[in-house]
Structure 1
Amino acid sequence: MEEGPGVVNRGVRVVTIDVRLTETAKQSTDFIRVKPGSDGYLALGVARHLVEKGYVDREFIARYTQGFEELVKHLEGYTLDRVEEVTGVPKRRVAEFAEELATSKPFAILIGYGLQRRFGGGEVVRSIALLPALLGMHRGFFYSNASGLSINLAAVDGSALWSARRVVSMEKVSEEVYRGGYKLVYIHLHNPAATLPNAARLVEGLRRDDVFVVVHETHWSDTAKLADVVLPAPTFYEKLDAVFSYSHSVVYLNKPAIDPLGEALGEYQLMCEIAKRVASKSYAELCPDPYELLKLAFGEEVFRGLVEEGAVELEPPPRDVYQTPSGKIEFYSSLALEEGLPPLPTPPEGDRASEGELILITSAHSHYIHTQFEDVYGPIHSELHISPQDAEQLGIKTGDLAEVCNERGSVLLRVRVDPGLVRGVPRHSLALNGKRISVLMDDGVDVYGGAVLNSTRVKVRRVQNKLPESPTQHPRQNLSTTPLS
């Protein structure tokens, strides 16, 4: 959207719905600001208006969906007046947006991952996902195509070789390690000391004398600095891999440009070397040539295309096939009912903070993926973005030093007053006192098993503490370890 004529200049109408004025929102045709966590209410208000005004495609609904009549009754509670009260979006704008959808087919609804990372996030996503079906579209809602690609992931991710005896939610790993739930922690492709919620507990746990920590890494990450042993990993320049995306259907063969530097071993090679030393011979034999694994994962035809062309676009599944018990789009989900969940989308009214608290949101940075690329662009800027209304109430201004805290910890951040933010919802980055903001993040789990990072509640106050020195940045080339052999 930022380069060339952009989709907006080519006649495509783009509407962004968010709690803050993002760069995408600035490039959009229109921007609808909502209260945090209230997106599901907005979606059901739109759905009710579509039903009431006769915009729904009843022929499509009868043929390809299940539970429409139950949904219609369920929508009675989502009046435009109530939706305006909950979301902060004027009821006139809710109705206009519903009618824009109805008269703009085909359309696409794209949601970011952060939308569901809150209490009730699963219900929010369900509520939004039903809108295209009401208007007679097989597709139109996009979250991720990871489960919609014709790839035999079990052949390459190891899940075909084992069954989990104990599963711990990623959000609860910090607490589990802190309590001594593991005697050995092996970490690869991840920087949990910087990114897991309630990270201070994880850091304390990894420092326990009775926990042995092995980290397989390309950089001196926050987590690598806590390891007993660091095993050097190759970058993508140095290893064979097959790369597919959550957002499109093209798979690429990543061939190494150079041999691995130093003692670096790729993830697969390292696992196989360990297996040869600790597992039975029969298990060690389950480490075939990587090309054979790719053939199992993609099939002969796609594999041949990858080897010969380097990239292949995978065939999409039939548009009218759905991975539900009924094989249809389920407004009313019997599977949800069996799991003790609401059979119809029932989103929360939104995140609410107590007196003196704010809802802290996390958001992506244009130059970074979590903590990646700090070696390229430098440390993530230590800023707390806050609305003008909150800044005035707290007596702080741009450039001030603020302490952001809750029962899990505290961090220091420079304040930037941001008119693009809704009141009561600051956003953040790396802290100035050497801590990652993840020490504050809520480690609760939504009923669907997801993280609730964007339901984190904090207090903010202006401070005049002297800032600590910046932590040392370790170059990758200093990584070393004892050879495996």
Structure 2
Amino acid sequence: MIRLGVALERHAGGGQTIRAVCAIPALTGSWRHVGGGLLQMPLWEFPVHWDRVSRPDWIKPGTRVVNNLRLGRALTGEMELDPPIKSFFCYNTNPVSQAPETDKIVAGLQREDLFTVVAEHFITDTARYADVILPATMAGEHDDMMFSWGHFYLTLNQKAIEPRGEAVSNSEIFRRLAKVMGFDDPRLQMSDQEQIEHFLDWDADAMGGIDMDYFREHGFFHLAVGTPDDRLPHAEGNFPTPSGKVEFKVEGAKNFVAPPFRHMYEEMQSGEDVDPLPGYVPPRESPETNADLGKLYPLNIVSPKSHGFLNSCYANEPHKIKSQGEQFVMISPADAQERQIREGDPVRVHNGRGSFEGFAKVTDDVPAGRVVATLGYWRSLNRSDGSVNSISSDAHCGLGNAPTFSDNLVEVTRVN
């Protein structure tokens, strides 16, 4: 089976790459065999009432959308917004670490006319710029139901303790806001447990006839969609296409972001034409495709996730930093020699968007012309006030408006 992870799409041709990989099981006929297909995020297998979760009917027509990958431009005014964003509520994310063009985000968060509220466990790089920080509950302090990015289990998270101090869950924050703002729909005052039951489609075949009592007793449930020994959802085709087959050629398709990631809101999609067939799209930034830029910044950078952190979570924990090590930059012996960089030297990685510093790891594990630096480190805890995404472009790949974190040119220099 082909296991599609996260990051293959993070360059200009990433969407087309995913498309091409997804065609392989159809070309080989392996869909007919157990374990012969592919797996990424089985989002659509989970019987969730997305319309109940998101309530797109509450979104006024014409409501504008700002992609999180363009947050820096939106906050600094580079993106023409009328009226401009004057308030910003941030929860479940740390964009000053994780989003592209983080120097622009910081500049935007420093605006005197921007009112920023952050719900957090710690004073993260983003929370440092908040006007108000709301203490958020941790997983053991609230109820939740979780579907997975990579398997078919629904898992009930039952709180282990009552929230400490003034910490409240995201749901409770929104319940309080709704009450103060005069929104009286009963849905807005449902408890976390009531929401869990309301959001799941209990009548779906995938739920196997169970109810909430099953989760309270067992804690989890494997969707009734087959097992690793017999799952063959497409042995006879049955793909969600007009023909019921895998369609390599798709005429008239338009670019879009999957609705669950936009609260099921269909307006303001980018709508660019999509190539009818999957094909090669060259990198946006490379010495071969952008010679002038390549003369200034000749190295491509790849920024995978860190083993010791979960995105930027835990990156402030001393024991996690100890196991992960400080920010490092992997560089080939040839590129290191050209720049008079030795193992362990402090180095600066930079381009026209920003910079960050780390320690050189001279290794044959990366080829000449490439450097690797894992993300998740907090800029406030790094050698300099910068992190990997200080150098990242906010350009999208061709499908799904995905990020291009692995399509950036940089230069690396030795520093004191």
Q: TM-score range by the shorter chain?
A: 0.7 to 0.9
C-alpha deviation, 1:260, in angstroms:
0.3
Aligned length: 356
CA distance in 1, matches of 2:223, 2:86: 42
Residues 263 and 176 (structure 1 numbering): CA distance in 2 closer, same or farther, change over 3 Å?
same
Q: Which is higher, the Rg of structure 1 or of structure 2?
A: 1
Specify the alignment match of 2:404 in structure 1.
452
Residue deviations 1:345-402, cap 9 Å, x none?
0122456232351111111222211111124434462111111222122221111121
Give the aligned CA root-mean-square deviation in angstroms. 2.1
- Taking structure 2 as the reference length, the TM-score comes to 0.80
Specify the alignment match of 1:361 in structure 2.
302
By percentage of residues, which structure has more helix?
A: 1
What does residue range 73-472 of structure 1 map to in structure 2 within 5 Å?
Answer: 108-138=1-31, 140-159=37-56, 161-162=58-59, 165-179=63-77, 181-281=84-184, 283=185, 285-300=187-202, 301-304=209-212, 305-316=214-225, 318-319=233-234, 320-336=237-253, 339-350=272-283, 352-353=286-287, 354-355=294-295, 356-376=297-317, 377-379=319-321, 381-429=326-374, 430=377, 431-448=382-399, 449-464=401-416
Residue deviations 1:56-90, cap 9 Å, x none?
xxxxxxxxxxxxxxxxxxxxxxxxxxxxxxxxxxx
Residues 254 and 414 (structure 1 numbering): CA distance in 2 closer, same or farther, change over 3 Å?
same
C-alpha deviation, 1:129, in angstroms:
0.9
CA distance in 2, matches of 1:443, 1:337: 21
C-alpha deviation, 1:114, in angstroms:
1.0
Q: What is the SS of the residue equivalent to 1:205?
A: helix
Which AA in structure 1 matches 2:409?
R
Q: What is the SS of the residue equivalent to 2:105?
A: helix
Specify the alignment match of 1:100 in structure 2.
none
Q: What is the SS of the residue equivalent to 1:221?
A: coil
CA distance in 1, matches of 2:55, 2:303: 32
- Taking structure 1 as the reference length, the TM-score comes to 0.69
CA distance in 2, matches of 1:213, 1:345: 42
CA distance in 2, matches of 1:159, 1:236: 27
CA distance in 1, matches of 2:242, 2:104: 40
C-alpha deviation, 1:159, in angstroms:
4.2
Q: Percent sequence identity over matched residues?
A: 26
Residue deviations 1:264-302, cap 9 Å, x none?
110111101101111332x36533233332223223444
CA distance in 2, matches of 1:394, 1:322: 53
C-alpha deviation, 1:157, in angstroms:
4.1
CA distance in 2, matches of 1:432, 1:113: 28
CA distance in 1, matches of 2:298, 2:139: 43
CA distance in 1, matches of 2:106, 2:254: 39
Residues 292 and 348 (structure 1 numbering): CA distance in 2 closer, same or farther, change over 3 Å?
same
CA distance in 1, matches of 2:21, 2:15: 10
Q: Higher relative contact order by CA 8 Å / sep ≥ 6: 1 or 2?
A: 2
Q: What is the SS of the residue equivalent to 1:453?
A: coil
Which AA in structure 2 matches 1:394?
R
CA distance in 2, matches of 1:168, 1:182: 10
Aligned 8 A contact 2:47 2:201 in 1: no
CA distance in 2, matches of 1:161, 1:322: 32
CA distance in 1, matches of 2:19, 2:85: 35
Which AA in structure 1 matches 2:47?
S
Name stretches of at least 5 consecutive residues in structure 1 with no aligned partner. 1-107, 465-485
Name stretches of at least 5 consecutive residues in structure 2 with no aligned partner. 203-208, 227-232, 256-271, 288-293
